[in-house]
A and B are shown apart, each in its own frame.
Chain A
Amino acid sequence: MEFITLVAGSFSTLLNPMVLAYVIAGFIIGTIFSAIPGLTATLALALLLPLTYSLDVTIALMACASIYMAGMCGGSITATTINIPGAPSSMMTALDGYPLQKQGKGALALGHAAIGSMAGGAIGAMLLIGLAPFIAEASLLVQTTGKFSLLAFAMIVIVIAQRGKVVKAAMAACIGLMLATIGLDAMEPVTRFTFGFSSLTAGIDLMPVIIGTFAISEILMQAGAAKEDRKTTEAISAVKIRRRDFIPPLSSIREIGLICYIKSSLIGYSVGTLPGAGGSMGSFLAYVETVRTSPNPESYGKGNPKGIAASESANNAVCGGALVPMLTFGIPGDPITAIMLGVLVINGIQPGPQLMAGQADLIAPVLASLLFSAVVLIPLTLFLLGPYFIKIVSIRKDVLYGAIALLAVVGSYVATYSTFQMMMALVLGVLAYYMRKNVFPVVTMLLGFILGPNLEEFLRRSLALSNGNPMTFFTSLDSLFFVILTLIFVYFLAIKKPLQKPTGAAQSA
């Protein structure tokens, strides 16, 4: 209750014009980046990460939260209007959004998407605010061996969640872990894998890893794919949207029903708490569940607003869910929470079980910003800027990528004022580029890099405490709990037959 009061009180932080400006700017940047196919909110955050050095950590995290929320709903703009999801999480939205657009009801579809996002975002944020303190309290019960098993559980789930490319995901995680072992050992004065380079003694900074993985590799990926743009621009110029058309009639919202919004949000929130699952899985499961329980399943994929509502409620509720493991255990579930974790680390704040207890006054405004973004900024920006957002998609890609490249390369210099970090960002960008070209999920590499040091530390401490006996992971209750949880997830994610995608999903993907 105390924490809820603290969050409620934190809304006053948003009355500060400077803070509000950063939160709104973050939301608009997040929307623009997620609306443009090829760009993502993760890229926006990666590019803006260096700027957080000079910002107050609370403001930086509040802006991150608004970018996160915007990133989940912004993808629906192009998913609906031109059938190209701006973000993977909006893939299911395109199934019913685009047919509505073809019926001349594109603005209505966007309105439904905004209401779904608003409901999902708000429910996810409220669940986070309500439950996170209890989870944080429970997380304090997890001891050293349990912490190792928890991190191992997170790594395994992240890997097996990449269905169809599990070995590549495992290899990507290994690459991340290998990168994390470069530098001085945390427990002994021994340097590892530095090969005589003194600049590597302190290890590789998180900043060049994030910029290389998400910004430089993205520019390299886009370098050979500029031909598609003309088609997109032509499709955009054909779309005409008026502001008043965005507001869906009340009867239509009633028809969707409160149950659909709540159920989809709960699915999204639950999926969000799983490492590596992300918005696309949340919206997919919510969409499938809505179709399954509908009396008219044949109407989906042909412009049923309920499909849009389910998909968008779920992917925005993922935001609240994904912040649970990040804030309570220091385990990022997706690239955006990984970058938010980076903001904490950069500012010398240790993420983990103690964070919620010791830094509640820092976390509360972030959650307030998340809720504010969902309830106020999603509908407001769509209504005020919606007609212009769709035009943003037709922005000149050459200029855009020129600016992004400059921000990425100079941004990697900001961390330490060293050109070595810039070179490191380039090297890691090239590595991530070739990994992406060969269908390796780079997000598992990033999570391996982030979780690696703690994984090693807790493994070594656990075994030191048990005199090298590995059975300690099965005899300690907290550890055993996560071992069993791992086995359950391995069964459901890797052994049991996966859900089939709805027919239309394959077409839109």
Chain B
Amino acid sequence: MFYLYKKIIFQFLVFIVSVGYLVTAFNIGNPMLDGQLQASFFPLIIGSFAVLFSGILLFKEWALVKNKAADPGDDSSPYTAPILVLLIFIYILAFSAIGYFIPSTLFVFSMILLFSEKKKIVQKAVISIVIVTLGYLVFELLFGVRLPTLRG
């Protein structure tokens, strides 16, 4: 039953965001002034369509949940993607604070571990260092991109 609600949560969020967008568009100002379209006109149209479409989708999904007929979805691990998002988030913070090398090596190493079994750790660590060094060569030397370092 959980997957049924998981699907409706996303549709519900989309609906809420659409309503929020429409309300914010109303707050921008008058859509028309002296016969001229203003900054809020286009967002109001888009917001209205978004509320309509997300409402239809929410209604459809709700009907499926009521009939318990929703697609059971995939059997992939529910935790891998959130862990990955968290990893990328931490990496971005560390990237700006500590620089390219150490966070990148740890990030690639964790990514490799996430996508494989926890065996041959040393080999995977070496591969991570090689990938990060190659990345450095491509970005900094080949394409002249200045990557952050520990010294700023």
Contact = CB atoms under 8 A, between A and B. Distances in A.
Contacts of A338: none
Contact of A401 (B95, B96, B111): B111
A414 B95 CA distance: 13
A189 B111 CA distance: 44
A170 B53 contact: yes
Contacts of A241: none
B24 A414 contact: no
Interface stretch (A69-77, A87-95, A175-183, A321-329): A175-183
Given A414-B139, A467-B35, A190 B28 contact: yes
User: Is the interface on chain B under 10, 10 to 19, 20 to 34, or 35 or more residues?
Assistant: 35 or more
A16 interface: no
Contacts of B131: 399, 402-403, 406
B92 interface: yes
B81 to A, nearest CB: 5
Contacts of A190: 28-29, 38-39
B5 interface: no
A175 B56 CA distance: 15
A329 to B, nearest CB: 20
Interface string B66-95: 000000011011101100110011011101
Contacts of B29: 190
A417 interface: yes
B50 A175 contact: yes
Given A403-B131, A406-B135, A419-B96, A178 B50 contact: yes
B81 A433 contact: yes
A171 B53 contact: yes
21 contacts: A54-B143, A170-B49, A174-B50, A174-B53, A178-B50, A187-B39, A188-B39, A193-B24, A224-B77, A226-B116, A402-B115, A402-B128, A407-B135, A409-B95, A410-B104, A426-B88, A438-B7, A438-B11, A459-B42, A463-B37, A464-B36
Q: 9 closest A-B pairs (Cβ-Cβ)? A: A224-B76, A398-B116, A398-B115, A185-B39, A223-B80, A174-B50, A402-B111, A54-B143, A171-B53
